[in-house]
């Protein structure tokens, strides 16, 4: 029970990468908060699982249809997700207040179809921000090329943003620049909290496939190293950005640092430690968001140590070695972002189809 509080002492926050109505209404989310979980993230894939597994939402859907028989599926989706996020935000509100706004945040992701639509993203984020109406809401915007200008503008308007689907140093540089640009234009930057969500395990999944295709002893020896090395370099770049004079000027106006958040941290390859992307990415001024299963595994046998501030030279060398093997990490990470948007869109489409089926039954 004390393990998460020990991680917090080291400077890292552990958030939950999961939401479901029953988790909130049963009191289990509050129990996790008491253990030290200090925030929550969601995405279309998570909401798809939440709505389609079990009957958690059946009564809520029936109630919406009873009060508004003509409600569209998108209206129902909106009502369900907003209600969940509001309830979760209320559970985390004491954490938000106690941490001065750094923790206790709950993330909501707009429809994935907006990932390449700057103006559509701006309109939808503003709508959700007003609709949820909680200071500890954080709205997700992907780090696509059209997403970056939207991110900077939303910061200027004082909205909390979780920038998602980042896989490369280039993605991080664009996101950090958008944050600095946005808070510089914000009248009161002290109200803004942001995280830069850097995805981890999927990098190893893609790179390992390329290494196995090469099949040489040198190539196979590099498996399972790319994701952590890639992440460590981004972490050290973040430290540089937020110790630079450009940010210090905004810090004097009350601005907070934008912490790096490690996403996609469940281990996909059974040959690796089931807490690999927790133990190897631990350090100050970061967040790690864990699916329920990974959180339980870490509480059971995870070790606590500042691993982000060691092995930087090895990380740099590891990426050089990948390049020598002909692995184009830049091309892989760009493809990962494209695939990530598509995966969320597929989950969203499946969720809407499942809601349509439930509505058909209940009507």
Indicate which residue of 30, 140, 232, 358 is catalytic: 140
> What is the rounded (10 degree) CA torsion for 355, 359, 362, 363?
180
- Give me 362's structure tokens: 């209940």
User: Rounded distance, CA 165 to CA 114, Å?
Assistant: 13
Catalytic residue status for 303: no
Residue 40 has phi, psi (to 5 degrees) of: -150, 140
Tokens of 269: 């390859």
Does residue 315 contact residue 234 with C-beta atoms inside 8 Å?
no
CA-to-CA distance for 151 and 118, rounded, in angstroms?
9
Which candidate, 112, 111, 93, 91, places its Cα nearest to that of 103? 93
The answer to whether 34 touches 16, Cβ cutoff 8 Å, is: no
Directed axis angle between helix 201-214 and helix 226-241, to 10°? 140
Q: How far apart are CA 205 and CA 266, in angstroms?
A: 12
Helical residues (DSSP H) of 11-157, grouped into ranges? 21-25, 28-35, 44-52, 58-67, 73-98, 118-132, 147-156
The set of catalytic residues is: 140
């Amino acid at each position: 029970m004390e393990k998460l509080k020990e991680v917090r002492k080291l400077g890292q926050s552990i958030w939950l990468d999961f939401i479901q109505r029953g988790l909130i209404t049963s009191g289990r989310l509050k129990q996790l908060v008491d253990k030290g979980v200090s925030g929550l993230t969601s995405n279309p894939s998570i909401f798809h699982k939440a709505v389609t597994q079990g009957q958690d939402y059946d009564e809520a859907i029936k109630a919406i249809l009873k009060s508004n028989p003509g409600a569209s599926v998108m209206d129902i989706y909106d009502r369900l997700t907003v209600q969940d996020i509001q309830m979760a935000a209320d559970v985390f509100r004491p954490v938000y207040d106690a941490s001065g706004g750094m923790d206790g945040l709950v993330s909501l992701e707009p429809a994935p179809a907006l990932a390449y639509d700057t103006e559509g993203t701006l309109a939808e984020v503003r709508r959700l921000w007003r609709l949820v109406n909680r200071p500890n809401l954080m709205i997700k915007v992907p780090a696509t090329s059209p997403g970056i200008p939207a991110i900077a503008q939303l910061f200027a308007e004082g909205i909390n943003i979780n920038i998602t689907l980042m896989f490369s140093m280039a993605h991080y540089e664009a996101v950090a620049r958008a944050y600095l640009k946005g808070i510089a234009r914000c009248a009161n930057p002290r109200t803004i909290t942001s995280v830069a969500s850097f995805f981890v395990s999927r990098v190893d999944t893609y790179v390992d496939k390329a290494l196995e295709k090469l099949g040489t002893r040198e190539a196979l020896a590099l498996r399972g190293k790319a994701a952590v090395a890639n992440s460590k370099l981004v972490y050290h770049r973040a430290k540089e950005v937020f110790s630079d004079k450009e940010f210090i000027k905004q810090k004097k106006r009350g601005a907070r640092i934008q912490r790096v958040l490690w996403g996609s941290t469940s281990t996909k390859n059974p040959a690796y430690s089931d807490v690999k992307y927790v133990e190897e990415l631990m350090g100050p001024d970061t967040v790690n968001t864990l699916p329920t299963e990974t959180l339980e595994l870490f509480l059971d046998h995870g070790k606590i140590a500042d691993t982000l501030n060691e092995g930087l030279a090895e990380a740099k060398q590891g990426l050089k070695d990948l390049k020598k093997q002909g692995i184009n990490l830049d091309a892989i990470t760009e493809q990962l972002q494209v695939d990530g948007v598509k995966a969320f869109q597929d989950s969203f489409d499946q969720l809407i189809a499942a809601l349509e089926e439930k509505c058909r039954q209940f009507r």
